């Protein structure tokens, strides 16, 4: 904290270190920790961006990497600004009557940025990389609905055992083990972007030199990724074909960079949003960018003591989740399905705050007052409500919880590794806007994204049933039943929905986040009379 | 010791016994740790080192804790050049006591005291920890002198003892005043570091920022100020010290695990107790009232505005609102309000509990007293759409099963998928359905053609075609 003083005295400035709410920490972490901005050269637009952990779509498992890779590698379908699925590399598709086979037809004359043709087999090869048993993707479960995919991933069958077939150069046939109503949306995931075979040997740490998407990335000045338009892109050269993605602010604030014209689009800290909404210049450029995401806590259920549902439920009921989120200015979650997903119901599926019952459950599990429990560690990546949760658990259960914070990348490795943390936290942004992306991918038995390795046959049966039905009401009712099981078993606790803001320059068209956490830069343009 | 660890040891012992009987069976030994060391140089990441050896080392981590903080920071260590030594580097963000470097701009602030120890993870996930080391980030650019008086330790390097003594006096007076009003005091002495140039201060706490002259950090019970030695604890320097120390007492009075009070209350109280609602601040408020640019208080709940004019106005409004509160409800109610935040209340809850009306009503009353209306927010605003490829359906519907893009206004979501099929057998409704589908497709083709025409016209009006 500091104070301003009259201009005649030494000049003062606000101090850093104040955060109004816990949620702001995450946003500041994104905005402030990013590296230094380069010089604003002659580009069409400059936007703030995450720096991808990897340039390999098959190895990316975080939203920040996906937001960049989505510009570079194109999928068969894509999300429009409203989050709807639209044709991308695929011109058309047909679904069999039983819903178990989808036939995609590529657009004619597709080519990579180097002019080489994009072929159906390349799509299949790219997808198979996600379920390569030798190096599976963190999001391998995206393809879990394809016949044979789980078996290939487990090493039980070879590539030929996977229900993916190329017919000629332009047709891909996908066999599904169940009529997954959401599979067209799955194919819009950045993870399923088509990777040119010519770069497969060098993909990962360095930006790709050949792309299937709208832009080719070039590492520019420190903290800047330059995107140059791909003239071979299926939709033509993007309207804004020279972009700078600024990944490094050099300790400066995104608002300051936006105000000075060094950024045309930037995420905004929740702590800055209150004043920006009233600012005569910035207020009209303020955008709400809530994503379809859920912040949740989970337990690793394969190991004691959290292999016992009573213990999990005791921990879940001992924390007043609604209170700790709402008092911090967040949006409390009532289910694992974020607001805005078709098929979400308005029921409260979160375990009720009931310390007395929590204590009884813990005692019934053989740990009265927490006696006999091993050391409990809550592992996090340094944001969220962890310290508050630990305090409430100690107060209401008598259990001392150690909070350990890791760097995000290390954290991802730990929650995806073995053994896994006892209690962990994740934020999950929709790969595709459907309940299955949350209830299926995150919690179905054997799913690679099922961090806690929870398994429940009744739950699995319901998820299978929901995936097989076409009736929205029936599907919603089944998902509600599945969530009742979650509330009883508490493998995870939904905590908060996303509340995000951005600043977007007046005249910048198409800077709309589709709910899956990124903007399609190929859809950007400047309104007449505006621009850099 | 964790249960896993105990289990691992028990298994090791069992295996050892078996090993004694069965020649050729080897047993992984417990890792051994040497004395850990740390290099904490101002302006550079902290480097932790320790000899670590063992047969079963899957990973080596360093556990770091700010003294007095509950969160343990875990850093991955790597083998160092020296054989058998592991090393890790990290900056500590005292703003969040976590890993992000943003609030300290990549620096760990001076006077950050921390504990650390190395931890080995074995292949089975069991862990062993080494001895605890301690460290502190020192600003060793200067020859610091220290005096301790009451609840303040003054560290300074330029000026005589009287200079430091006067700073200590001012600081203790400020603590006493704030403590009396807020009903609490500092839990332990605070450190006050006095720099005699702004540059020296900036290099210590915030090298990438400008115009900073003081910072208070509750996480490390430390405040850093720039006071030229020739000013001593004169009016200006005294104001600074009082202001920052009020923050520390305020933080202690409102401390809770749920949230912090709105910033305008924190800053308003600090200004009120250090200088009051002075003519200087009144001039900012008067100007904003005149040009209708007063920012509602909910706009000052988070960070204050960046633009300098609004930044100073924010401080002025903060103390003006506190002044209005006291004139309306009396000073004791203000301290009741502040203390109520220790219960983890929202602003609305705290105001309602103290005054009977919520924060918005208080703001409205204050604006009304100034003769201005409360403005509506100017954002967020919906963003304008951009160009879309011509074959993307303009209404953004999700293509569904059996649909070809451009042929079908398919229904979004689950309804787009057909029910599980009924293979085999005659379908008595087939003809009816076929006729309906043909009619439906014709209608769709007309609709899509119309939409496509409109899209083309719109794009032409906007800009030259770009290849969509």
- pLDDT at position A23: 29
Q: Please state, in angstroms and rounded to a whole number, the distance separating the CA atoms of residues A131 and A153.
A: 5
Neighbours of A250 (CB within 10 A): 16
- Residues paired with B134 in a beta bridge: B115
- pLDDT at position A181: 84
Q: Give how far the C-alpha of residue A491 lies from the chain's centroid of Cα atoms, to the nearest Å.
A: 20
- pLDDT at position A383: 66
Is 60 exceeded by the pLDDT of residue B396?
no
What is the least distance, in Å, from the CA of A247 to any CA of chain B? 13
| Cβ atoms of B284 and B316 closer than 8 Å | yes
Beta strands in B14-58 (DSSP E): 32-33, 37-39, 46-53
Between A86, A342, A407, which is nearest B99 by CB?
Answer: A407
For residue A419, whether the previous peptide bond is cis, meaning omega lies within 30 degrees of 0, is yes
- pLDDT at position B102: 34
Concatenated DSSP letters of A321-369: HHHHHHTTT-EE-SSSSPTT-TT---S--SPP--HHHHHHHHHHTT-GG
Q: Please state, in angstroms and rounded to a whole number, the distance separating the CA atoms of residues A18 and B103.
A: 9
The answer to pTM > 0.80 is: yes
Q: Please state, in angstroms and rounded to a whole number, the distance separating the CA atoms of residues A406 and A398.
A: 25
Q: Please state, in angstroms and rounded to a whole number, the distance separating the CA atoms of residues A284 and B127.
A: 53
Three-state secondary-structure class, residue A172: strand
Residue of B nearest to A513 (CA): B383
Task: Tell me which of A363-372, B55-64, B459-468 is least confident.
Answer: B459-468
- Residues paired with B73 in a beta bridge: A405, B64
Of the candidates A466, A438, A485, the one whose C-alpha atom is nearest the C-alpha of residue A296 is A438
Sign, CA torsion A231/A237/A241/A247: negative
Three-state secondary-structure class, residue B384: coil
Which of A 176-215 lie inside 8 A of B, CB atoms?
179, 181-182, 184-185
| Cβ atoms of A444 and A487 closer than 8 Å | no
- pLDDT at position B4: 33
**Would you state the structure tokens that stand for residue A140, as one six-digit string?**
């391998």
Could you report the predicted ipTM of this complex, rounded to two decimals? 0.86
Q: State which H helix or E strand residue B215 sits in.
A: strand B214-217
Q: State which H helix or E strand residue B192 sits in.
A: strand B190-195
Q: How many helices, marked H, and strands, marked E, lie in chain A?
A: 14, 21
pLDDT digits (tens, 9 = 90+) for B261-272: 999 999 999 999
pLDDT digits (tens, 9 = 90+) for B121-175: 998 888 999 999 999 989 999 999 999 999 999 999 998 898 889 889 989 998 9
Q: Is A9 on the interface with B (CB under 8 A)?
A: yes
Q: Please state, in angstroms and rounded to a whole number, the distance separating the CA atoms of residues A476 and A349.
A: 13
| Cβ atoms of A5 and A11 closer than 8 Å | yes
Q: Please state, in angstroms and rounded to a whole number, the distance separating the CA atoms of residues B145 and A146.
A: 71
Q: Which residues on chain A are in Cβ contact (under 8 Å) with B75?
A: 406-407
Q: Which residues on chain B are in Cβ contact (under 8 Å) with A263?
A: none
pLDDT digits (tens, 9 = 90+) for B400-442: 323 333 233 222 222 222 222 222 233 333 333 433 444 454 4
Is 50 exceeded by the pLDDT of residue B75?
yes
**Would you state the structure tokens that stand for residue B56, as one six-digit string?**
């079963």
CB contact under 8 A, B258 and A328: yes
**Would you state the structure tokens that stand for residue B408, as one six-digit string?**
């079908």
- pLDDT at position B432: 37
Of the candidates A9, A295, A209, A522, the one whose C-alpha atom is nearest the C-alpha of residue B387 is A522
Q: Please state, in angstroms and rounded to a whole number, the distance separating the CA atoms of residues A115 and A99.
A: 35
**Would you state the structure tokens that stand for residue A307, as one six-digit string?**
């292999």
Q: B97 versus A339: which is more confidently predicted?
A: A339
Backbone φ, ψ for residue B274 (5° rounding): -100, -35
| Cβ atoms of A522 and A238 closer than 8 Å | yes
CB contact under 8 A, A509 and B388: no
Determine whether A219 is exposed, middle or buried from the number of CB atoms within 10 Å of its CB (0-12, 13-18, 19+).
exposed
| Cβ atoms of A61 and A138 closer than 8 Å | yes
Backbone φ, ψ for residue B153 (5° rounding): -110, 115
Q: Which residues on chain A are in Cβ contact (under 8 Å) with B384?
A: 508-510, 527
Q: Please state, in angstroms and rounded to a whole number, the distance separating the CA atoms of residues B306 and B289.
A: 20
**Would you state the structure tokens that stand for residue A438, as one six-digit string?**
């949350």
Determine whether B10 is exposed, middle or buried from the number of CB atoms within 10 Å of its CB (0-12, 13-18, 19+).
exposed
Q: Is A219 on the interface with B (CB under 8 A)?
A: no
- pLDDT at position B3: 35
Neighbours of A260 (CB within 10 A): 10
**Would you state the structure tokens that stand for residue A189, as one six-digit string?**
């995931």
Q: What is the mean pLDDT of residues B200-213?
A: 72
| Cβ atoms of A353 and A323 closer than 8 Å | yes
Q: What does the DSSP 8-state code read for residue A116?
A: P
**Would you state the structure tokens that stand for residue B301, as one six-digit string?**
């709940």
What is the least distance, in Å, from the CA of A422 to any CA of chain B? 12
How does the average pLDDT of chain B come out, rounded?
77
Q: Which residues on chain B are in Cβ contact (under 8 Å) with A20?
A: 259-260, 262-263, 301-303
Which of A 385-404 lie inside 8 A of B, CB atoms?
386-388, 390-391, 402-404
Between A16, A179, A239, which is nearest B466 by CB?
Answer: A239
- pLDDT at position B209: 56
End-to-end CA separation in angstroms for chain B: 64
Q: At what angle do helices B235-254 and B161-182 cross, to 10 degrees?
A: 40
Sequence-ordered alpha helix ranges (H) in B134-234: 161-182, 198-205
Beta strands in A168-269 (DSSP E): 171-175, 215-219, 224-229, 242-246, 265-268
Of the candidates A27, A32, A18, A20, the one whose C-alpha atom is nearest the C-alpha of residue A499 is A27
**Would you state the structure tokens that stand for residue B20, as one six-digit string?**
């004694």
- pLDDT at position B363: 98
Please name the residue that has the structure tokens 């901005």. A37
Between A275, A287, A304, which is nearest B300 by CB?
Answer: A275
Q: Please state, in angstroms and rounded to a whole number, the distance separating the CA atoms of residues B79 and B81.
A: 7
Please name the residue that has the structure tokens 């332990």. B188
Determine whether B332 is exposed, middle or buried from the number of CB atoms within 10 Å of its CB (0-12, 13-18, 19+).
exposed
Q: What is the mean pLDDT of residues B326-333?
A: 96
Confidence of residue B219 (pLDDT cuts 50, 70, 90): confident
Distances (CA, A) of A29 to B72, B107, B140, B307: 18, 15, 29, 22
Q: Mention every residue, 6+ apart, whose C-beta is less than 8 A from residue A465.
A: A478
Q: Which residues on chain B are in Cβ contact (under 8 Å) with A512?
A: 383, 385-386
CB contact under 8 A, A342 and B314: no
Is 70 exceeded by the pLDDT of residue B5?
no
- pLDDT at position B71: 85
Backbone φ, ψ for residue B272 (5° rounding): -60, -45
Backbone φ, ψ for residue B329 (5° rounding): -115, -10
- Residues paired with A95 in a beta bridge: A102
Q: pLDDT averaged over consecutive 10-residue blocks of chain A (532 residues)?
A: 32 22 29 32 90 95 93 96 93 94 98 98 98 95 96 96 98 94 93 96 91 94 93 97 93 89 94 95 96 94 97 98 93 94 89 97 97 96 85 96 90 89 94 93 93 97 91 91 96 94 97 90 96 84
Q: Mention every residue, 6+ apart, whose C-beta is less than 8 A from residue A189.
A: A66, A75, A139, A142, A431, A432
Which of A 274-303 lie inside 8 A of B, CB atoms?
274-280, 282-288
Between A250, A418, A468, which is nearest B208 by CB?
Answer: A250
- pLDDT at position A253: 84
Residue of B nearest to A290 (CA): B380
Is 70 exceeded by the pLDDT of residue B60?
yes
Q: How many helices, marked H, and strands, marked E, lie in chain B?
A: 11, 15
Which of A 301-330 lie inside 8 A of B, CB atoms?
304, 323-324, 326-329
């Amino acid at each position: 904290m500091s104070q301003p003083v009259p201009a005649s005295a030494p000049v003062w400035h606000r101090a850093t270190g104040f955060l109004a709410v816990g949620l702001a920490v995450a946003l500041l972490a994104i905005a402030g920790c990013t590296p230094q901005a380069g010089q604003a050269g002659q580009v069409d637009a400059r936007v703030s961006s995450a720096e991808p952990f990897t340039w390999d779509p098959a190895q990316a498992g975080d939203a920040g990497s996906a937001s960049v890779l989505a510009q570079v590698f194109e999928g068969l379908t894509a999300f429009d600004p409203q989050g709807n699925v639209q044709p991308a590399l695929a011109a058309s598709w047909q679904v069999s009557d039983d819903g178990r086979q989808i036939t995609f037809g590529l657009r004619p004359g597709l080519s990579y940025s180097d002019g080489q043709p994009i072929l159906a087999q390349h799509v299949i090869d790219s997808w198979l990389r996600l379920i390569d048993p030798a190096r599976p993707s963190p999001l391998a479960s995206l393809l879990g609905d394809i016949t044979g995919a789980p078996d290939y991933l487990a090493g039980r069958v070879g590539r030929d055992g996977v229900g993916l077939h190329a017919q000629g150069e332009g047709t891909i046939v996908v066999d599904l083990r169940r009529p997954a109503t959401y599979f067209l949306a799955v194919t819009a995931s950045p993870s399923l972007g088509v990777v040119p075979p010519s770069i497969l040997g060098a993909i990962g740490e360095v930006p790709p030199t050949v792309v299937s998407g709208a832009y080719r990335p070039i590492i520019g000045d420190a903290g800047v990724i330059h995107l140059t338009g791909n003239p071979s892109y299926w939709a033509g050269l993007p309207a804004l074909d020279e972009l700078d993605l600024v990944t490094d602010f050099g300790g400066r604030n995104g608002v300051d960079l936006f105000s000075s014209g060094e950024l045309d689009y930037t995420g905004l800290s929740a702590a800055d949003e209150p004043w920006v909404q009233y600012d005569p210049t910035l207020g009209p450029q303020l955008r709400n960018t809530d994503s379809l995401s859920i912040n949740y806590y989970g337990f690793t259920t394969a190991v004691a003591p959290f292999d016992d549902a009573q213990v999990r439920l005791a921990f879940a009921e001992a924390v007043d989740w609604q209170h700790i989120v709402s008092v911090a200015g967040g949006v409390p979650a009532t289910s694992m399905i974020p607001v805005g997903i078709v098929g979400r119901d308005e029921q409260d599926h979160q375990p009720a705050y009931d310390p007395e019952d929590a204590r009884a459950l813990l005692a019934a599990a053989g740990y009265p007052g927490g006696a006999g429990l091993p050391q409990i560690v809550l592992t996090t990546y340094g944001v969220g409500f962890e310290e508050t949760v630990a305090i409430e658990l100690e107060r209401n259960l008598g259990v001392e919880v150690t909070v350990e914070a890791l760097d995000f990348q290390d954290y991802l490795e730990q929650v995806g590794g073995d053994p896994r943390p006892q209690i962990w936290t994740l934020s999950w942004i929709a790969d595709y806007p459907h309940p299955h992306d949350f209830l299926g991918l995150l919690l179905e038995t054997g799913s690679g994204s099922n961090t806690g390795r929870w398994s429940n046959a009744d739950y699995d049966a319901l998820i299978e049933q929901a995936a097989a039905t076409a009736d929205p009401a029936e599907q919603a009712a089944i998902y509600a039943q599945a969530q009742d099981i979650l509330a009883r078993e508490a493998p995870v606790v939904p905590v908060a929905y996303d509340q995000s803001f951005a600043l977007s320059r007046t005249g910048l068209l198409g800077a709309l986040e589709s709910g899956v956490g990124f903007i399609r830069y190929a859809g950007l343009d400047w309104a007449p009379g505006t621009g850099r | 010791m964790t249960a896993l660890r105990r289990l691992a040891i028990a298994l090791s012992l069992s295996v050892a016994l078996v090993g004694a009987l069965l020649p050729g069976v080897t047993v992984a030994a417990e890792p051994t740790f040497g004395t850990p060391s740390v290099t904490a140089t101002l302006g550079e990441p902290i480097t932790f080192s320790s000899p670590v050896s063992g047969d079963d080392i899957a990973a080596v981590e360093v556990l770091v804790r700010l003294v007095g903080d509950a969160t343990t920071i875990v850093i991955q260590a790597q083998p160092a050049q020296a054989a058998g030594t592991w090393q890790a580097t990290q900056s500590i963000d005292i703003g969040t006591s976590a890993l992000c470097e943003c609030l300290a701009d990549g620096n760990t602030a001076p006077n950050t005291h921390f504990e650390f120890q190395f931890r080995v993870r074995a292949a089975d996930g069991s862990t062993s920890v080494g001895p605890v080391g301690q460290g502190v980030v020192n600003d060793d650019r200067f020859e610091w002198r220290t005096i301790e008086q009451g609840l303040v330790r003054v560290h300074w390097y330029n000026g005589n003892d009287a200079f430091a003594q006067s700073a200590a006096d001012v600081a203790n007076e400020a603590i006493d005043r704030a403590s009396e009003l807020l009903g609490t005091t500092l839990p332990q002495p605070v450190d006050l570091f006095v720099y005699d140039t702004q540059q020296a201060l900036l290099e210590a706490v915030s090298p990438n920022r400008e115009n900073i002259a003081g910072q208070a950090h509750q996480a490390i019970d430390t405040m850093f100020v720039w006071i030229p030695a020739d000013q001593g604890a004169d009016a200006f320097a005294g104001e600074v010290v009082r202001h920052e120390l009020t923050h520390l007492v305020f933080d202690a009075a409102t401390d809770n695990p749920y949230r912090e009070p709105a910033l305008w209350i924190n800053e308003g109280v600090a200004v009120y107790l250090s200088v009051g609602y002075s003519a200087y601040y009144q001039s900012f408020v008067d100007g904003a009232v005149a040009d209708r640019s007063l920012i509602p208080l909910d706009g000052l709940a988070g960070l204050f505005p960046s633009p300098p004019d609004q930044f100073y106005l924010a401080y002025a409004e903060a103390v003006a609102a506190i002044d209005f509160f006291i004139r309306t409800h009396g000073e004791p109610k203000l301290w009741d309000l502040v203390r109520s935040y220790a219960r983890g209340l929202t602003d609305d809850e705290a105001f309602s509990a103290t005054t009977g009306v919520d924060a918005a009503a208080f703001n409205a009353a204050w604006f009304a007293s100034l003769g201005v209306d409360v403005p509506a927010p100017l954002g967020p605003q919906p963003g304008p759409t951009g160009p879309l490829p011509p074959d993307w359906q303009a209404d953004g519907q999700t293509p569904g099963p059996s649909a070809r893009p451009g042929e079908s206004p398919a229904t979004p979501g689950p309804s787009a998928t057909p029910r599980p099929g009924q293979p085999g057998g005659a379908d008595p409704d087939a003809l009816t359905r076929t006729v309906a589908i043909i009619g439906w497709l014709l209608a769709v083709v007309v609709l899509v053609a119309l939409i496509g025409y409109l899209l083309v016209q719109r794009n032409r009006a906007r800009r030259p075609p770009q290849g969509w």
